[in-house]
């Protein structure tokens, strides 16, 4: 599962890494939570050649056929093993894939005093991309663009924290993941299998991240007395 994550690097870093022509100003985010807006990269097919574009979408996928957008509150994650079959995700898995930009995510470990949060991140601080799906919901004259994060089995060093982890794509697969012409579920699942998060470091952090509205730099600061 992925219930909170971070994106703290400047917009210029995101633009360079993901080969974007332009990126809006991005405030550091230390505790991105469901129902909030966050940066997502989609492929714009209108230019020739198509271009990657970064947009702010709401976390929690609302299918186009939904009667009530609150369904998105329960659809923040999707298991990659079943994404191609489930009605809520089948069509967007085939045609509406995206890159969810992050530089870390939180997982929790049960201990006698409660759940201890850990921040998983790359040691060099560089951002990466979760495999995501997006959808457009229309109502009246308005529209709402939303996304979900695909999850997969955890890498060995993350397994003690949770039995799922966000699917992190290898940069070599970013273009194919965004390409709607690539629609074979076997090929798409193979992309996710190629990057398993083994290069991530784990840092125990304070429990202030448990509060969804709290988004401050100390969310990612190490505990003064590290957890086991």
Of 208, 207, 169, nearest to 191 by C-alpha is 169
Decide if 181 is catalytic: no
Catalytic residue among 25, 107, 219, 221: 107
Residues 216 and 125: their CA atoms lie apart, in Å, by 17
Neighbouring C-alpha atoms within 13 Å toward the C-beta of 187: 11
Residues 6 and 220: their CA atoms lie apart, in Å, by 9
Catalytic residue among 2, 78, 98, 219: 2
Decide if 2 is catalytic: yes
Residues 140 and 127: their CA atoms lie apart, in Å, by 37
Whether 215 and 30 have beta carbons less than 8 Å apart is answered as: yes
Strand bridging mode 142-152 / 165-166: antiparallel
Active-site residue numbers?
Answer: 2, 107
């Amino acid at each position: 599962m992925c219930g909170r994550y971070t994106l703290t690097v400047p917009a210029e870093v995101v633009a360079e890494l993901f080969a974007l022509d332009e990126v809006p100003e991005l405030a550091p985010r230390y505790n991105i939570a469901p129902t909030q807006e966050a940066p997502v990269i989609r492929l714009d097919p209108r230019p020739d050649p198509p271009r990657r574009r970064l947009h702010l979408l709401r976390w929690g996928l609302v299918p186009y056929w939904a009667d009530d957008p609150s369904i998105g509150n329960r659809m923040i994650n999707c298991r990659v093993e079943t994404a191609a079959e489930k009605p809520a995700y089948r069509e967007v898995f085939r045609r509406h894939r995206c890159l969810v930009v992050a530089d870390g995510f939180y997982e929790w470990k049960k201990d006698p005093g409660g759940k201890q949060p850990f921040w998983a991140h790359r040691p060099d601080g560089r951002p990466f991309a979760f495999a995501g799906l997006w959808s457009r919901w229309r109502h009246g004259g308005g529209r709402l663009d939303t996304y979900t994060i695909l999850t997969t089995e955890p890498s060995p060093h993350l397994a003690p924290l949770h039995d799922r982890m966000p699917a992190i794509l290898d940069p070599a697969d970013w273009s194919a993941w965004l390409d709607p012409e690539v629609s074979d579920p076997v090929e798409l699942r193979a992309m996710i299998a190629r990057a398993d998060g083994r290069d991530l470091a784990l840092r125990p952090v304070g429990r202030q991240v448990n509060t969804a509205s709290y988004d401050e730099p100390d969310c990612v600061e190490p505990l003064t007395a590290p957890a086991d």
